[in-house]
Amino acid sequence: MRTNRYLPILFLFAVLFSQDKTLSLQELLVEAVKNNYDAKSQKYKEKIAQQEARKDLGNLLPTVQGAVDYNYFHDLPVFASDNGVIRSGTKHRLMPELSLEQPIFDATAFQNYSRSSLLQKVEKLQTAKTKLEVISEVKIAYFQYLLLLERQKTIEASVQRLDKAVLDMNLKLENGLVQRLDVDRIQVLLNDANLELAKIKRQIPYQVLWLKYLANLDMQEPVGFSGSLQEFFDMHKNTVVEEQPAENVDVLLAAQQSKIAKTQAKWQGAKYLPTINLVAGYQFNFLNNNFSNLTSKYYPTSFVGVSAKIVLFKSLNKTWALKSAVLQAKLADNILEKTKTETDVLLVKQRMELLNSLEESNTQSANVALADLNFQNIYHQYNNGLRSSLDLLNAQETLQSASLLHVQAMYNVLMYQTLLEKTLGFTSENL
């Protein structure tokens, strides 16, 4: 008896833990921004750009080198003098050396560091772009999933109506009130509706799999998604067309590329100037004829100086490189202007499509109510012998078409809103 008292509790826990995990759109977006394959790849690219910038910065910092030379002279070095040939020196020579070189001006090193620093900012913008793309793709796929559910409900409602109509007409056929042709017409519509329903039921699992891929979720773990198309539509339908200043990430990227090209052209021209380095060194000279006492005495040498190098002529490489860099800067400016114009045109188009979808949704919502009322009236009149089977078929098709167009219009509103937010660079603060 004591064991039986715990059975309901155990059953409750079993039911709770056996249910599929359900994610809201916000929860799915959090997972996608963090784990999406493209998002993770872009984070790696951003870190690589950081390391490249640090590497190029290292070329502007001092270079310290150490070296050791050891020489054994079997015959001492020969020196010529007025008195003849003189051999001088020691048999053993050990020369440890420490040298330092600090670039003062090196156009190539400055150019490389400037480029890598700006490319680091490019990768940060690219990370922001990838985030927007992931959010947009996941939201549209989520709304497509909800659209499939709404289409399934609509077709299922049509199937129920047609099933009832077929049953009623078969009874009338048995009583000689209708012809076989009337029954067959309804049956054709029912077959088509069942076929469409089967297609939708196959699409839904694939859409779930696609959402799991976009968020990089466990493909084997059962998961469901909350919300409805109507719920999201009601939440956003009054705020989707507000005029906002565009901060398009593609424009920001093009502007950064233009800045890189101009900076490269500036430093390319600076390559006509000499490369100047500060140099310094310290050397120990250990000299002795006896190897065992080689380090007993040493004679230090140190120096500080400046070196300058300039290429006087190397074909016309510098001239051609400078002209190419100037043209690259002009090309980048042209791409920037093109991107700005394209973005302005795209915003006008997306706002237009959004307004059209909103109007279509309102119209189709009214059409669904009218079509449903029309179907109910015609069905009642048909049962009383006042309408033909053709009238009933037309009413059913009109109701189904209006219902499908309505859910499609709601989806279009959410899709165009998502695309508009992406173009404007909007994203949730929690992502």
Residue 257 lies in a domain: yes
Same domain, yes or no, for 29 and 128?
yes
247-256: pLDDT as tens digits: 789 999 999 9
Same domain, yes or no, for 295 and 408?
no
Instruction: Specify the pLDDT at position 393.
Output: 83
What is the SS3 assignment for 418?
helix
What is the SS3 assignment for 70?
strand
Instruction: Specify the pLDDT at position 14.
Output: 47
Conformational region of residue 227, where left means phi above 0, alpha means psi within -120 to 50, and beta covers everything else: left
Helix (H) or strand (E) holding 209, with range, is helix 180-214
Strand order of the β-sheet with 275-288 is 63-72, 92-105, 275-288, 298-309
Same domain, yes or no, for 384 and 259?
yes
What is the pTM assigned to this prediction? 0.81
Same domain, yes or no, for 332 and 394?
yes
Instruction: Specify the pLDDT at position 6.
Output: 57
Average pLDDT over every residue of 105-128: 92
The band of 9, judged by pLDDT with boundaries at 50, 70 and 90, is: low
Among candidate residues 287, 309, 331, the one where a domain is terminated: 309
Average pLDDT over every residue of 11-32: 73
Instruction: Specify the pLDDT at position 290.
Output: 78
Same domain, yes or no, for 135 and 280?
no
The mean of the pLDDT values for the chain is: 87
Two structure tokens written together for 104: 């003062």
Residue 12 lies in a domain: no
pLDDT over threshold 50, residue 49: yes
Q: Which domain holds residue 394?
A: 19-60+106-273+316-424
Same domain, yes or no, for 215 and 260?
yes
Same domain, yes or no, for 177 and 221?
yes
Same domain, yes or no, for 155 and 283?
no
Nearest Cα neighbor of 225 from 16, 2, 24 is: 24
Query: Is the model more confident about 47 or about 268?
Result: 47
Residue 356 lies in a domain: yes
pLDDT over threshold 60, residue 265: yes
Q: What percent of the chain has pLDDT over 70?
A: 90
Same domain, yes or no, for 251 and 396?
yes
Same domain, yes or no, for 152 and 206?
yes
Residue 8 lies in a domain: no
Instruction: Specify the pLDDT at position 28.
Output: 95
Average pLDDT over every residue of 321-348: 93
386-407: pLDDT as tens digits: 888 788 888 888 999 999 999 9
The single-letter DSSP state of residue 220 is: T
Q: What angle do CA 317, 319, 322 make, to 5 degrees?
A: 105
Per DSSP bridges, beta strands 92-105 and 63-72 are antiparallel
